[in-house]
Structure 1
Amino acid sequence: MKKGLRRMYLAFLSPVVIAFLIAYLYPVLRTVQMSFFEVSDISAARDTWEFVGLYNYVDLFSRQLFRVSFKNMMLIFLAGGAAVFLISLFFAWVLHKGMFMGNLWRNLIYLPTVITPVAMITVWTQYAYNSRYGLLKTVFETLGLDGLAAIPWTSTQYAFWSMLIAFCFCSIGGNLLVYMAAMKKIPDDLFEAAFMDGATEGKIFFRITLPLIADNVKTQFTFWTIGCIGFFLWSRVFSVVPSDPTTITPASYMYDQIFGTSISSNAVASGTNVGMGAAIGVVLCLITVAAMALINLIFPKEKYEM
């Protein structure tokens, strides 16, 4: 490489590398360091930190609430993921094959994706799940299903599944559009040849369509995994009380450890443990790295020509 070209590369790359080190790498290293200390407040001076070694990690996994939050995260990942991927693939396949007013149905399914999550959560909690005049109550009463109409969907007993249903409803549209775009790239000649050979719709989907959109499925599965690990906003808003075991997730539990369960006008609520919160962040980071490695192992590396 010529010296002038090397200098040009350094001149262009240096600002990016410096910005990366300042904005990303330093906070990560600082968080890892903080996880080995007991820190009373996030703004506490460094000389007030008390070194505790691995105690934060040991104490974290011994806490029942953290284990519950991890269980909730896995339920969101598994149950929610299965529902979102199966429903979005089904609708993508049906709309791709062609149906009456297909564009309208596609836009209606995608609409919740473009609305801010806070607005969607408000719609679900205040209107769909409302125990006095909510959509579900009205529909079930009309159908004569008084038992279902009387269910308090936002209570502690049902809050988790109510949250999961609403979250999945708002997640289907994005996956749908990605899968439809991928299916449109598949040449029609492949489908015609399969039909001429006597293949059924099911065989065509599993033998042709699904393998050819595997990269898109992998991408959406990756986004879903990362979103579940960092699941926070829906958990926070659907919580009946602070740190509600029904809807709490590791990200929400981390927030409680760092900032407290509530913030008054004068001071942060007591009981914070910033070192514990940092330890949760490190654990979630390691889980994310392991999940990405597992995804690369699960999904096939074969490339299909279209």
Structure 2
Amino acid sequence: MPRGFLTELVARTQHDNEAFSEVFSPVLQGLYTMMLTASVIEDEHRAPLQALFELTDIRVGNRPLCKLITEQKQFMAKLVLPTPGREIARVSFLGPFLSVSVFAEDEPKLAEKFFSGSSSDKALVKMLHSELENVRSLQHKIFHLMIANQDSRDQSLNYIAEVLKHNEKRAQIQVEERALAGDGFMLNLLSVLQNLSVKIKLSRVDFMYPFHPDAQVSIKNDTRLKFTSQEAADWLEEFANQSSSNQPAGGSESRPRSNFSTLCWFLTLHCHHLALIPALHKYQRRVRAARDLQKLLDETAAAEAQWRDTPFADRNRQFIRRWKQQLKKLNK
């Protein structure tokens, strides 16, 4: 494709919304479809992710393709399943672009292909780390461009808030993982938000934001220290009354909107709570389970002389084979 062709095409069609959408919506939908089946193993994710970045980076006055992405039918898809956390990660337009993962739960074939042995190759692990860093760099650039573009900023931030809202149950002690977005998706989103928050100055953050009536980060169901539910409700009511009395005439409509620094900072903090902490807890549980299973395996094997000639010999050998298979899966 000749250099500058896409920029010229955008410049010629952007003023006619129907023509612009007719030209570029099929391109965006094609990239979305490619990402739905893209695999890290075959490097199928690279081309559509790079293409989406290059499209969002086209600037003709503003960035019209960023706005067009938010106008796609599945950008903020209507959720119909009883598993909204998993559904929004799967069917929303940006979901597949955030779903690139090296976790065995998300990419079972990757573990089978690269980590089928008992030990992991450090060079291979380093390669996967490098690939994931490149992917997350592109993801951050795409979101940064969409948020920097005024016509797509609010929709992009609303999308992030919706993803977090539908995955709030990830913070619970016992969760149904199949109903929620996977660790790979959530950690990618956290990486995006973390990079967006790097340059935020705390002096510009409104730390009372979670208590505002229109806050997109809700903490009303979180446990409180030294506050009963009724005391918390009374305090919130008092805070709301004080906020209303400090507003200029015109009611809630004249309330100043929270700035980007405040919203992004709290979305990032909330995402830490829903992405990083649950992923660490899962890893700790897996390490503990692998350690306990290895101990059980060693003890049973060490006592083989005692049960070898007993009626339980066949059963114990079956247990040993089963435990070895389970241990192999846990170590992937």
TM-score by length of 1: 0.25
Greater RCO (Cα-Cα under 8 Å, separation 6 or more): 1
TM-score by length of 2: 0.23
